[in-house]
A and B are shown apart, each in its own frame.
Chain A
Amino acid sequence: MGELETYALIDFIPFEAEAYFRLFARQNLSIWPSQLLTLPLGLLALWLAWRGRARPLGILLGLCWIWVGISFHLRLYAELSWAATYVGWAFIVAGLLLMALALPIGARTARTSGLGTKFLGGIGLGLSGLALYPLMPLVTQLSWQEAQVFGVAPDATTLVTLGCLLMTGRPTWPLAILPLAWCCASGATWLALGWMPGLLLPVGGLIFIALALWPSFERPAPARSVSELEPSARRGETCFLDRTLTRPDTAGARHEPES
């Protein structure tokens, strides 16, 4: 370890909490009242995830990530930290990935989990991102201007995205890597700045990992002909969030029980 042992987490954060909170206020003020659209957009994302609408879901989430990368990280956060430039580009890449993996597929993702653990966990994460972050000023010392909103602030956007990925049953890990990386980076920042409500995101990330790895004991599907499978599976296409679902023996599973 050597020299690293002499550093504390705060030594890697080149700004004070006040300046960081102000980024959210400046972001909100600059785009007001478009935040009013983000709640319905977030609900739409959850609905699309529930319905397995991969293409519109990927486009919606991808655009949100690209927007947050440009308008928050590159435009504002980069003023305080050179690392934010790289984070901004990572958000743009994450957005492109969400869109790229969705666009060529265009298939419905099977609603594999029904009301199972993962589905409910995904709903919980998604609603937390949509509702808890904007309402934090009620229970913390934040001002309403500093509220974090889905599609505008990175943490809320990340949590909703993880929720959508989880709702589909078996999240595709390449799509989850960058959101999970932001969970770590953001959690470390909030921890260093001493704002404990900010740990909601890394906790959400841990819940996502735990539920994503949660074993699914799928009931063996009865043997069916290819004609009985979903259109995407018949075409041999892979699904947006769960490539394994295209296998003939599971493609039609809707409500497999989970332990």
Chain B
Amino acid sequence: MDRRALIKLIGAGVVTATTRPLGAAALTSPRLIAKPIPSTGEPLTVIGMGTWQTFNVGSDQPLRDARTSVLQAFFAAGGQLVDSSPMYGSSQDVVGDALDRLGHPERLFSADKVWTRDGDETRAQTTVSAAKWRIGRFDLMQIHNLLSWEAHLERLAEMKAQGEVRYIGVTTSHGRRHLELEQVMRGNALDFVQLTYNPADREVEARLLPLAREHGMAVIANRPFRGGGLVDRLQRRGGPLPGWAGEIGCHNWPQLVLKWIVSHPAVTCAIPATSRVDHMRENMGAAVGELPDEALRARMLEAIQTA
């Protein structure tokens, strides 16, 4: 039985489990939270990893070593989805180098983006990116910030049909171009959408998140800490966590924020970025334990907003 088949079998159980109250499900650990990708049912650990800024260290060997340790901590804690882009400087190269040194962990779910105005460059840029990651193909290929999305989406659909990528999607960030994203989501078959969602940026709750559920699209939440500013504020002024946070396995503010994000029924995965191993372990702590129900989620939001 190959890895994909095994994962799918496990995923079938996850789909059932996530429909329960406090919908959490186990993947490799009884306490690790995963959610199914709607289009296939394949489970995905709810905390992934972004690489914007943090993995852009060029050929600096000491910093590459440090980033390899971060990625190692991510996989050790059950992480799967790693997201990058050609726009992120040397991040793709650094991820590829780290994956090589870690022996290409089986649980990697590779997500990258097409970032070019040239609609004929979809396949070529994907090939270059895969070479930098040092992998054969990507699990997920997205269109970065909807750039030339019509042409790229057509190519990506062809590539998916031919097995060159497993999933396709589109991205936005900073709450931009939501109207256009809604049109794209209504008119196209997408596996994933990536957008900004955190306790301070909740515009997507009104239309885009319900739309993603309606159309069976997985949602990746980027900028979960608002570029770090949200967590900095909470840790500086937020004081101690509410007593009930421990009930859902939250031991610090970053975990409370992340767990609040991924407990939205439409959200599949959040992708915080960090260059520190201790922060990575903190972040991955949000993928353990239970997800809050709607009432507890409301209390979490209030605690974050009033902190």
Interface residues of A (CB under 8 A from B): 3, 6-8, 10-11, 13-16, 18-19, 22-23, 26, 76, 79-82
Interface residues of B (CB under 8 A from A): 52-54, 56-60, 62-63, 87-90, 174-177, 227, 275
Q: In the complex, which residues of chain A have a beta carbon less than 8 angstroms from the beta carbon of B177?
A: 3
Q: In the complex, which residues of chain A have a beta carbon less than 8 angstroms from the beta carbon of B275?
A: 16, 18
Question: Assuming A79-B89, A79-B90, is B175 touching A19 (CB within 8 A)?
Answer: no
Nearest 5 A-B pairs (CB), nearest first? A79-B58, A15-B56, A14-B89, A19-B57, A6-B174
19 contacts between A and B (CB under 8 A): A6-B175, A7-B174, A10-B227, A11-B174, A11-B227, A13-B53, A14-B87, A14-B89, A15-B56, A16-B53, A16-B54, A18-B63, A19-B57, A19-B63, A26-B60, A79-B58, A80-B56, A80-B57, A81-B89
Asked if B174 and A79 make an inter-chain contact with CB atoms under 8 angstroms apart, the answer reads: no
Q: In the complex, A10→B225 CA distance in Å?
A: 14
Q: In the complex, which residues of chain A have a beta carbon less than 8 angstroms from the beta carbon of B90?
A: 79-80
Q: In the complex, which residues of chain B have a beta carbon less than 8 angstroms from the beta carbon of A18?
A: 63, 275
Given A14-B88, A18-B63, A76-B58; 7 other pairs, CB 8 A cutoff:
A6-B176, A10-B227, A14-B52, A15-B56, A19-B60, A22-B57, A80-B90
Q: In the complex, A22→B58 CA distance in Å?
A: 10
Q: Is the interface of B mostly helix, strand, loop or mixed?
A: loop
The residue in B87, B90, B177 that gathers the most chain A C-beta atoms within 10 A of its C-beta is B90
Closest chain A residue to B57 by CB distance? A19
Q: In the complex, which residues of chain B have a beta carbon less than 8 angstroms from the beta carbon of A3?
A: 176-177
The residue in A13, A14, A76 that gathers the most chain B C-beta atoms within 10 A of its C-beta is A14
Q: In the complex, which residues of chain A have a beta carbon less than 8 angstroms from the beta carbon of B174?
A: 6-7, 11
Q: In the complex, A10→B227 CA distance in Å?
A: 9
Question: Assuming A22-B63, A79-B90, is B56 touching A14 (CB within 8 A)?
Answer: yes
Q: In the complex, A11→B53 CA distance in Å?
A: 9
Chain A nearest CB, measured from B299 CB (Å)? 30
Chain A nearest CB, measured from B46 CB (Å)? 25
Asked if A19 and B88 make an inter-chain contact with CB atoms under 8 angstroms apart, the answer reads: no
Q: In the complex, A13→B4 CA distance in Å?
A: 38
Chain B nearest CB, measured from A24 CB (Å)? 12
Q: In the complex, which residues of chain B have a beta carbon less than 8 angstroms from the beta carbon of A6?
A: 174-176
Q: In the complex, which residues of chain A have a beta carbon less than 8 angstroms from the beta carbon of B62?
A: 22
Asked if B227 and A15 make an inter-chain contact with CB atoms under 8 angstroms apart, the answer reads: no
Q: In the complex, which residues of chain B have a beta carbon less than 8 angstroms from the beta carbon of A26?
A: 60
Q: In the complex, A56→B43 CA distance in Å?
A: 68
Question: Assuming A3-B176, A11-B174, is B58 touching A82 (CB within 8 A)?
Answer: no
Q: In the complex, A80→B90 CA distance in Å?
A: 6
Chain B nearest CB, measured from A199 CB (Å)? 21
Closest chain B residue to A77 by CB distance? B58
Q: In the complex, which residues of chain B have a beta carbon less than 8 angstroms from the beta carbon of A23?
A: 58
Q: In the complex, which residues of chain A have a beta carbon less than 8 angstroms from the beta carbon of B176?
A: 3, 6
Closest chain B residue to A17 by CB distance? B53
Asked if B227 and A80 make an inter-chain contact with CB atoms under 8 angstroms apart, the answer reads: no
Question: Assuming A3-B176, A6-B176, A80-B58, is B89 touching A15 (CB within 8 A)?
Answer: yes
Chain B nearest CB, measured from A50 CB (Å)? 40
Q: In the complex, which residues of chain A have a beta carbon less than 8 angstroms from the beta carbon of B58?
A: 19, 23, 76, 79-80
Q: In the complex, which residues of chain A have a beta carbon less than 8 angstroms from the beta carbon of B88?
A: 14
Q: In the complex, which residues of chain B have a beta carbon less than 8 angstroms from the beta carbon of A14?
A: 52-53, 56, 87-89
Chain B nearest CB, measured from A229 CB (Å)? 54
Chain B nearest CB, measured from A204 CB (Å)? 28
Asked if A79 and B59 make an inter-chain contact with CB atoms under 8 angstroms apart, the answer reads: yes
